Chain A
């Protein structure tokens, strides 16, 4: 592990390859990916189905292993770590927001939010906690079980959980995919605020141009390769680019 004082890059991948299956049936999901995720930036990864965008997120986040190449989180090369060490890295540096089933059904909203801290045995920074739930509007919902929350509220709890430990980087996989457009817009607005106001780094996979337009930077993926990059996107520009890709 090498750590510098203030790393400029939250996550990187060099020559990342990922194959599924063997021989004839082998499928190359990532085909020589080189990517740098800058700190305090909201990055979106877009691409058609089967382009490898979810695989890229999973390998960057250490949920899945690369077949070849290397990747880092907070200047730690995770590709050479053991399973237990990667778990440690995820716990320390990463927050997750999934499309669905983000919460443990038997834990209350509050317990779900503090789960990463409970797991690592760290104390809750109460001021920070209050600020997050204030912004996310979850104050009245803390004692509720997930089943008693709306879809939008559940996803906001998930975002709060991702934020609470101030991770180096948050990975979000279609966070608004299951929400109606208003709740989706609200959620993405919160995520954007987290980047702007707290300097949080977020990487989000989506196929929705509107969702992607909340990001600072969009990476376009096709057949396991990064084919384009866009800064300061708008929904229209994204839609045009996607059309070019035959989506």
Chain B
């Protein structure tokens, strides 16, 4: 049986080539993603070892005790350890050295130049700087001195060996360092090398004396303590002892454990990358399944007489079925093997590309075992499941079929198909609706399952749509392409199931494209709407996260500036739930930004405004809310509401914010200019005023930000389109595959047409028209579904500021044109074969 299956595959490999390519493409995504993430993981665990392994024990904030899970992830690590703590740790038995570590939030700037810097990003662009106190112990600093000497006194700094040249400093120069308190100049006294290869991916690394670090950080406390144990001491035992003397919410962990912990955390993230890639691989394989089903269906029809003969000489139906499934398995194994090889090469190429831009962050590129298992597993599963129905069909062929004149498939009515399809489509749409609009735990499961059912349902229904459509198209195509068009329309109508399945494979990819395009276009509308809310001329940000108050004062004193209003952020606890809090200057905010608030924010009157999440929690205007902040607790009246979601949950005015949060961290300031002031000149003036002390403050015009946001959205669309490319390529291969098989099936017909005078070019055109109709039909179906789902999704997210969906007409037009072109390309091989058919052989073919 196995030999028979292998022989059958070998005897006629052409008809299975495209099927195999389809499977291989899907599988290669899986293999590539696994190989890629595996290499990343090993690369980073190497890096982590370099960072942490030199230190025996690390004392730091306990991540589990940290409660600011919802807080600002970019906030600097809190300083938790006093000098006394460090002394206590050093006193523990087995500890050789304990050194407190301070990280200074700041940036090393290039030397000041006289030229006028009109670059809006100023010195804030580029990789960040990492500034620490210098311990002078290589295991703790993780760096070794290369040139000069270590920083011994205030006013001195050392940088990593690559940075001075890049920034434009030499030993002895004064290095400009920007921190929250302004720009400080420090003398460059030496250079160091980080780890073994100074691989910092472009970041600047700097060290200064402890007293200097304390001065710049503005706090005498340490964020962590690095410990070296005495010769022969057991690090984990010492770590346990250190734990005893530590303040609450901190921990001692050995360097080795820290490496393992970080690697594990990274692997978790990479696991998501894998899931993401596998999702797209599954979409590809789902599309591939359509092709496999079609191929095996057609093959079974073509071999009806062969199977009938087998049955006649005593082969059981079950044996016929196993034979076809074995054939499928042979194809799956070959295709998966090719897919794994292709995937490995793809991962190599991807890592090479990434290395060019980011530097070498990869470990050895090995093909992990799970990649191989996943690849073969998915490849075999998809192929076998897809071949199952055709195989069952083949096993039911009666011996009598061998004797029949021709192998035309029975004209079964489409009734069952329509009923099943309609039911599936309705149920799918219902599930999508439930997922989007009902409040369930995991809506995406509902939406995903619903969408899959909808797709299969529409696929089944498509056959019914195709029949009258092809009929209608016949007149049009006949007018456009004469008899070639008529024949093409007929061919599509003749095998509605096959044509529908082929078109539907393309439909899936296009649906997802149209869905994403609808979403992103609508998102752009939101962005535009958001920016139209602002009447400010500039947004001001700081490279360090929060705007220094002095910088705000400087900006408001620049000539031409009418007002500067700032927005602060923080978090408070309401009824046990941590909520984000926005702080605004109630009397001026209205001049710069039109929050969609009812009534306007100017009427906040010392109360609090609520956003939709709190309304959903049952809070109403007029209620009293108790806000617990880090610095105080206030019970406030709800005096209004913010109508749009996506901003802070709660909004208070500045005095209330200060009593809750203490010093409010300003995350951005809005600048309004006086009438008639030139924006460019004002920007230069403000930037100049800030340049001396606050070079990290960045001014952005709303239009620039809007442009940036739109570019980001386009990038998103681009990335997803690229990931869907393999599904689309597979679908196009499917069109080619179906046509190729049906050309084989219609050999005699084509021969006859040629005999009565149809030219080669006409045959070519006939196949091409057929291909284009299928491709465009699939694309249109996909666009209808995709836009429909996209609109449903956008409407479901109305709370986030989506104000109605935008149909991406431009993209839809582009997709249609691309589909027609794809149709022409897909027809190349089948049309070439059809037009080259030997007429004599064609009319002599049996059956």
Instruction: Flag if A58 contacts B759 (CB, 8 Å).
Output: no
Which of B50-58, B218-226, B312-320, B484-492 lies at the interface?
B484-492
Using Cβ atoms and an 8 Å threshold, which residues of chain B touch A94? 757
Give the shortest distance, in Å, between B806 (CB) and chain A (any CB): 43
Contact between chains at A96 and B755 (CB < 8 Å): yes
A87 to B755, CA, bound (A): 8
Whether A121 contacts B482 in the complex (CB less than 8 A), given A63-B755, A147-B408, comes out as yes
Assess A161 versus B408: contact at CB under 8 Å? Given A106-B487, A107-B490, A121-B482: no
Interface pair B843/A161, CB less than 8 Å apart: no
Enumerate A83-112 residues with CB–CB distance to B below 8 Å. Answer: 83-84, 87-88, 90-92, 94-96, 98, 101-107, 111
Cα–Cα distance between A227 and B839 once the two chains are bound (Å): 29
Verify B491–A83 contact, CB threshold 8 A.
no
CA of A101 to CA of B749 in the docked complex: distance in angstroms? 8
Are A105 and B755 within 8 A (Cβ)?
no
**Does A1 interact with chain B (Cβ within 8 Å)?**
no
Residue of B754, B757, B761 with most partner-chain A CB within 10 A: B757
B763, chain A: closest CB distance, angstroms: 10
Residues of B within 8 Å of A161, CB to CB, are: 756
Chain A min CB distance to B208 (Å): 84
User: Is B83 at the interface (CB under 8 A from chain A)?
Assistant: no
Q: How far apart are the CA atoms of A242 and B5 in the complex, in Å?
A: 48
Tell whether, in the assembled complex, residue A119 and residue B757 are in contact, meaning their CB atoms are under 8 Å apart: yes
- CA distance in complex: A106, B491 (Å): 7
Q: Knowing A101-B748, A102-B752, A104-B749 are in contact, say whether A116-B757 is a contact too (CB < 8 A).
A: yes
Residues of A close to B483: CB separation below 8 A: 115, 118-119
Is A36's CB within 8 Å of the partner chain B? no
- For B843, give the chain A residue with the smallest CB separation: A98
Is there an interface contact between A101 and B752, defined as CB atoms closer than 8 Å?
yes
Chain A 68-81 near chain B by CB (<8 Å), digits 1 or 0: 00000000000000
A106 and B490 within 8 A (CB):
yes
Q: How far is the CA of A120 from the CA of B754 in the complex (A)?
A: 12
Q: Is A64 an interface residue (CB 8 A)?
A: yes
- Chain A residues with CB under 8 A of B486: 107, 111, 118
Q: How far is the CB of B746 from chain A (nearest CB, A)?
A: 9
Query: Contact between A119 and B758 (Cβ–Cβ < 8 Å)?
Result: yes
CB of B315 to closest CB in A, whole Å: 29
Q: In the complex, which residues of chain B have a beta carbon less than 8 angstroms from the beta carbon of A92?
A: 757
Q: Tell whether A58 pairs with B760 under 8 Å between CB atoms, given A102-B752, A104-B753.
A: no
Chain B: how many interface residues by the 8 Å CB criterion?
A: 25
Interface residues of B in 632-668 (CB under 8 A from A): none
**Closest A residue, CB atoms, query B748:** A101
Write out the residue numbers on chain A whose beta carbons fall within 8 Å of the beta carbon of B762. Answer: 119
Flag if A119 contacts B490 (CB, 8 Å): no
What A residues does B761 contact at CB under 8 A? 84
Question: What are the residues of chain A within 8 A of B494 when measuring CB–CB?
Answer: 105-106
Q: Are B756 and A119 neighbours in the complex by a CB distance under 8 Å?
A: yes
* Binary per-residue interface labels of chain B (724-756) against chain A in the complex, 1 for a CB within 8 Å, 0 otherwise: 000000000000000000000000110011111
A111–B840 CA distance with the chains assembled, in angstroms? 23
Selected from B491, B748, B757, the residue in CB contact (under 8 A) with A87 is B757
What is the CB-to-nearest-CB distance from A102 to chain B, in angstroms, rounded to a whole number?
A: 7
Q: Which residues of B contact A101 (CB under 8 A)?
A: 748-749, 752, 843
B493 at the interface (CB under 8 A from A): yes
Q: How far is the CB of B754 from chain A (nearest CB, A)?
A: 7
Q: How far apart are the CA atoms of A114 and B247 in the complex, in Å?
A: 97
On chain A, the residues within 8 Å of B755 by CB distance are 63, 90, 96, 98
Q: Are A87 and B759 in contact (CB-based, < 8 A)? A: yes
CB under 8 Å from chain B, chain A span 45-68 = 58, 63-64
Chain B contacts for A105, CB-based, 8 A: 408, 494, 749
Identify the closest chain A residue to B495 (Cβ). A106
CB-based contact A84/B760 at 8 Å = yes
Contact A87 B758 (CB under 8 A): yes
Residue among A96, A105, A121 with the highest chain B CB neighbour number at 10 A: A105
Question: A91 contacts B840, CB within 8 Å?
Answer: no
> Hey, which chain A residues are within 8 Å of B491, CB to CB?
106
Nearest-Cβ distance from residue A61 to partner chain B, whole angstroms = 8
Question: Within B424-442, which residues are at the interface with A (CB < 8 Å)?
Answer: none
Within 749-790 of B, Cβ neighbours of A (below 8 Å) are at 749, 752-762
Asked if A87 contacts B482 (CB within 8 A), the reply is no
How many angstroms from the CA of A111 to the CA of B474 in the assembled complex? 13
Enumerate chain A residues within 8 angstroms of B840, measured Cβ to Cβ.
58, 63-64
Which A residues lie within 8 Å of B748 (CB)? Answer: 101
Please provide the chain A residues from 106 to 143 with a CB less than 8 Å away from any CB of chain B in the complex. Answer: 106-107, 111, 115-116, 118-121
- CB <8 Å contact, B754 and A87: yes
Interchain CB contact under 8 A, A90 and B408: no
Given contacts A104-B749, A105-B749, contact A90 B757 (CB under 8 A): yes
B756 touches A91 (CB 8 A): yes
Complex: chain B residue closest to A83, CB-CB: B760
The reply to whether B752 and A87 contact each other, CB–CB distance below 8 Å, is: no
Beta-carbon contact of B752 and A104 below 8 Å: yes
- The reply to whether A88 and B487 contact each other, CB–CB distance below 8 Å, is no
Mask for A189-216, Cβ within 8 A of B = 1, else 0?
Answer: 0000000000000000000000000000
> In the complex, what distance in Å separates the CA atom of A116 from the CA atom of B752?
11
For A120, what are the chain B residues with a Cβ–Cβ distance below 8 Å?
757
Q: Is the CB of B757 within 8 A of A88?
A: yes
The answer to whether B757 touches A63, judged by C-beta atoms less than 8 angstroms apart, is no
For residue B487, which residues in chain A have a CB less than 8 angstroms away from its CB? 104, 106-107
Closest partner residue, chain A, to B753 (CB atom): A104
- Select from chain B the residue with minimum beta-carbon distance to A93: B757
Give the residue name and chain of the B residue nearest to A103 (CB). Answer: B752
For A98, the chain B residues whose CB sits under 8 A away are 752, 755, 843
Q: Mark B479-515, 1 if CB is under 8 A from A, else 0.
A: 0001100110011011000000000000000000000
- Give Cα A158–Cα B382 distance, bound, in whole angstroms: 46
Complex-state Cα separation, A104 to B757, whole angstroms: 14
Which residues of chain B come closer than 8 Å to A102, judged between CB atoms?
A: 752
Q: A115-B483, A118-B482 are in contact. Are A90 and B756 (CB under 8 A)?
A: yes
B822-843, CB < 8 A from A = 839-840, 843
Q: From A162, which residue of chain B is reached at the shortest CB distance?
A: B756
Closest to A147 in B: B408
Residues of B near A106 (CB, < 8 A) are 487, 490-491, 493-494
In the complex, the answer to whether B490 meets A87 with C-beta atoms within 8 Å is no
In the bound complex, residues from chain B placing their C-beta under 8 Å from that of A63 are: 755, 839-840, 843
Cα A87 to Cα B840 in complex, Å, equals 13
Closest to B749 in A: A104
Min CB distance, B408 to chain A, in Å? Answer: 7
Closest to A106 in B: B490
Inter-chain CA distance A121–B493, complex, in Å, is: 23
- Decide if B757 touches A91 in the complex (CB within 8 Å): yes
* A168 shortest CB reach to chain B, Å: 13
Residues in A neighbouring B752, C-beta threshold 8 A: 96, 98, 101-104
Of A87, A90, A94, A103, chain B has the most CB atoms within 10 Å of the CB of A87
Residue of A nearest to B845 (CB): A101
* C-alpha spacing A91/B483, complex, angstroms: 14
User: Which residue of B has the minimal Cβ distance to A115?
Assistant: B756
B482 contacts across to A, CB distance below 8 A:
118-119, 121
A147 to B839, CA, bound (A): 23
Q: Please give 13 more A-B residue pairs, beta carbons under 8 A apart, in addition to A88-B757, A101-B749, A115-B756.
A: A58-B840, A63-B755, A84-B761, A87-B757, A98-B752, A98-B843, A103-B752, A104-B490, A107-B487, A115-B483, A115-B753, A116-B756, A118-B486
Closest 8 CB pairs of A and B: A91-B757, A106-B490, A118-B483, A90-B757, A101-B748, A106-B494, A87-B759, A116-B756
Q: List 28 A-B contacts (CB under 8 A).
A: A58-B840, A63-B755, A84-B760, A87-B757, A88-B757, A90-B756, A91-B757, A91-B758, A95-B756, A96-B752, A98-B755, A101-B748, A101-B752, A103-B752, A104-B490, A105-B749, A106-B490, A106-B491, A107-B486, A111-B486, A115-B483, A115-B756, A116-B757, A118-B483, A118-B486, A119-B753, A121-B482, A161-B756
Chain B interface (Cβ within 8 Å of chain A)?
408, 482-483, 486-487, 490-491, 493-494, 748-749, 752-762, 839-840, 843
